[in-house]
């Protein structure tokens, strides 16, 4: 009984951390969100708000996340 009292706060913190991680993953790997970010990035580049080097680096990052999102989608 006493063991449960001491581990309850730890289990609650672990569950909270897992929930936060789940929500972050959903945001990072949301296909509609990634598509929107790619469109915004392209628009910024076309309007010359960012240089080509920054555009290419950010685009690669977004495309990598997009590939992961598609792989996760296939697994589910």
Closest CA to 35 of 65, 13, 12, 10: 65
Q: What range defines the domain where residue 33 resides? A: 2-75
Question: How much is the pTM?
Answer: 0.71
- Per the structure, the count of domains in the chain is 1
CA distance 57 to 66: 14
| Chain length of the chain | 76
pLDDT at 50: 97
CA distance 63 to 58: 9
Q: Is the pLDDT of residue 51 over 80?
A: yes
Alpha-carbon 11 to chain mean position: 25
Q: Could you read off the pLDDT of 11-41 as tens digits, one per residue?
A: 888 898 899 988 888 888 899 999 999 999 9
Q: Could you read off the pLDDT of 58-76 as tens digits, one per residue?
A: 999 999 999 999 998 898 7
């Amino acid at each position: 009984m006493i063991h449960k009292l001491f581990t309850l706060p730890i289990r609650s913190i672990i569950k909270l951390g897992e929930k936060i991680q789940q929500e972050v993953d959903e945001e990072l790997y949301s296909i509609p969100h990634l598509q929107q970010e790619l469109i915004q990035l392209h628009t910024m580049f076309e309007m010359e708000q960012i240089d080509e080097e920054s555009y290419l680096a950010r685009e690669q990052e977004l495309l990598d996340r997009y590939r992961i999102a598609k792989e996760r989608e296939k697994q589910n």
